[in-house]
Amino acid sequence: MTAPTTKTRTLFIGMDGCTFTVLDEMTRDIPGEGLAMPFLAGLMQKGVRAKLRSTPNPLTPPAWTSIMTGKGPGEHGVFDFIRAEDKGGDVYWTLYDSRDVDTEMIWSIASRNGKKVAALNFPLTAPPPKELNGFVVPGFIPAKHLRRNSHPATLFERIKQDVPGFDPKELAWDFEKEKQAMETLSASDMENWVRYHLPREEQWFNIAEYILTHEQPDLMAVMFDGTDKIQHQAWQFVDPSLVPAEPTDFYKRMRAVCREYFANVDRYIKTLVTLAGPDCQVFFASDHGFTATVEVLRINSYLEELGYLKWAVNDGSEQALRREASDFANLDWSKTTAYCRTPSSNGIFIRVAEKPGDPGIAKKDYNRFRDKLIEELKQLRNEDGEPVIVDVLKREDWFQGAHMKDACDLTLVLRDNGFVSIRDLKPVVVKRPEPIGTHHPDGIFMAYGAGIAGNGMVPRRKIVDVAPTLLHSVGLPTPSDFEGKVAESFFSKEWLAANPVVIGAPTQKLGERAKAEEMDDTEKKQIIEQLQMLGYME
């Protein structure tokens, strides 16, 4: 029996951290293993795809925000998981949420233009705007906050009542399980760690299927993030270049469970695409790609060697012990001029004194100081004589916009794309015992369906191009203040002739946003532990 189709015009499936390195493996018939994603393989053969260049620091919060806004971090204002304020004598931090996004997201743009939308499991969508015409179940928040931050107010109860097996604790990150995994990631436990991510994705799929069936939004979007989580800890089992000459039984088991995850996602895609129907345009994108990191750069230890920072003295007090154990730079702020705040930032902040006597360098010395620091960073070599830092990005070159001042002064690009360490440890550069997964700047962008070109692989697109492309698909113009452009190579000539790209009015200024229920310190600590386990924190 043919499945009923919806009136949905555009289906967007996000796959966090998805990379062609792995996707090409999962969509080919491998002797002895078969084809993990046969349905997606068929779509890829008939549609179009391109590498998608991420934000300058290819990190989940700024990258997904750029996908949702069509603007870079300098304009939307999100740079990291953590938002911090340097007050001279100390640095204070909190977690980013949607109220820190200083521009409209495509959900609001489409909504106020008469389209019904759905956005499931995207980060930084809590709290959602009150006036949204559609449905939001946010990602990256604790389970107890899902009800309050889902939209409309009745949605959570509907899902609880109508979706079989719905479990908000399983839907959100299970912090206790993640903490256990972080403590016991031995070979014997790793298979279970990967496997318990499978039912969580099933929960998100069930909700997506329910909303697509019953609400038929014009723009339907769901993001699966297990791709990223599995690749961080199990990269060696999915990277085709790391297949051992003689695979052990453990390697075979781990590779099998990873392939099972991708097979499940293929089933979700097949169901959603079939339900959306033959007239729907289907898009896939990731916030970044993945690769292997082989060494650790302890950047603050290097900055100490260069004389730019001083570690805080541990006087044995409870406060000192807590700071030393935290995941943020524990420094003597009165004697620090340049430092890295978090591992995930891969960035260096230069402290500039607001007035004479304040900590930091004089404003007049900024350019000279920064140029000298850049040269010293580029001189760093590993034990094989190879440059560890292959590029140093100045914020005015990469983060133009209203929030440029909030960006790191310098963003580091490491030779293996790894995240830095901020710990007080030596040596400054150390080889990892074995390669692990890290972010690569090139993610995926693909499309299939009515009006989509069968062009195969086309030239690389920018991450800010996703938003205007989705709006074009749903029949809306590109806001004039978007930084991205419609990926015209994704559409057939006939489609573009009938639906020419139009530049419209700029995005609207944001009004007062609903206050979210604030997370307590325990919940914040749990999220930090989650980020630790994924390699974003230490």
Amino acid at 208: A
Instruction: Output phi, psi for 129, to 5 deg.
Output: -65, 140
Pair (427, 479) in one structural domain: no
Mean pLDDT of 339-344: 90
Q: In whole numbers, what is the pLDDT of the chain averaged over residues?
A: 89
Q: How far is Cα 93 from Cα 406, in angstroms, rounded to an integer?
A: 13
Cβ(238)–Cβ(265) below 8 Å? no
Tens-place pLDDT, residues 260-276 = 999 999 999 999 999 99
pLDDT band for position 355 (cuts 50, 70, 90): confident
Mind giving me the DSSP string for 303-363?
Answer: HHHHTS--BPP--S-HHHHHHHHSSS--B-GGG-SEE---GGG-EEEEPB-SSTTSSSB-G
Q: How far is Cα 120 from Cα 464, in angstroms, rounded to an integer?
A: 20
Pair (267, 159) in one structural domain: yes
- Among residues 432, 449, 479, the one where a domain terminates is 432
**Residue 106: per-residue pLDDT:** 98
374 is a domain residue: yes
Pair (158, 278) in one structural domain: yes
**Residue 342: per-residue pLDDT:** 86
The pTM score is 0.91
Domain hosting 391: range is 295-432
Q: Where are the alpha helices (DSSP H) in 139-248?
A: 146-149, 155-162, 168-171, 175-183, 187-195, 198-215, 226-234
**Residue 324: per-residue pLDDT:** 63
* Residue 131 vs residue 446, higher pLDDT: 446
Beta bridge mates, 352: 361
Q: How far is Cα 429 from Cα 78, in angstroms, rounded to an integer?
A: 29
41 is a domain residue: no
- The answer to whether the peptide bond before residue 128 is cis (omega within 30 degrees of 0) is no
What percent of the chain is predicted at pLDDT more than 90? 72
- pLDDT of 512 over the 60 cut: no
| Domains contained in the chain, number | 2
31 is a domain residue: no
- pLDDT of 294 over the 50 cut: yes
Cβ(524)–Cβ(81) below 8 Å? no
Q: How far is Cα 505 from Cα 290, in angstroms, rounded to an integer?
A: 36
* Residue 1 vs residue 145, higher pLDDT: 145
93 is a domain residue: yes
Pair (375, 476) in one structural domain: no
28 is a domain residue: no
- Among residues 408, 432, 456, the one where a domain terminates is 432
Nearest to 8 by CA among 321, 275, 378, 360: 275
Pair (114, 244) in one structural domain: yes
* Cα 179 from chain centre: 21
- pLDDT of 537 over the 80 cut: no
Pair (96, 237) in one structural domain: yes
Mean pLDDT of 204-232: 95
Mean pLDDT of 206-210: 97
Pair (168, 123) in one structural domain: yes
Pair (386, 411) in one structural domain: yes
- pLDDT of 315 over the 50 cut: yes
**Residue 305: per-residue pLDDT:** 97
Mean pLDDT of 206-224: 97
**Residue 1: per-residue pLDDT:** 35
* Residue 67 vs residue 173, higher pLDDT: 67
Classify burial at 135, counting beta carbons within 10 Å of its beta carbon; exposed 0-12, middle 13-18, buried 19 or more.
Answer: buried
Pair (55, 192) in one structural domain: yes
**Residue 94: per-residue pLDDT:** 75
26 is a domain residue: no
pLDDT band for position 531 (cuts 50, 70, 90): low
Cβ(488)–Cβ(501) below 8 Å? yes
Pair (179, 64) in one structural domain: yes
- Among residues 432, 455, 476, the one where a domain terminates is 432
- pLDDT of 132 over the 90 cut: yes
**Residue 180: per-residue pLDDT:** 43
* Residue 316 vs residue 147, higher pLDDT: 147
520 is a domain residue: yes
**Residue 533: per-residue pLDDT:** 47
Question: Which CATH number covers residue 258?
Answer: 3.40.720.10
- pLDDT of 184 over the 50 cut: no
Tens-place pLDDT, residues 367-399 = 999 999 999 999 999 999 999 999 999 999 999
Q: How far is Cα 477 from Cα 434, in angstroms, rounded to an integer?
A: 48
Tens-place pLDDT, residues 228-254 = 988 988 999 999 999 999 999 999 999
Q: Pick the range with the lowest mean pLDDT from 7-16, 35-44, 312-321, 432-441.
A: 312-321
275 is a domain residue: yes
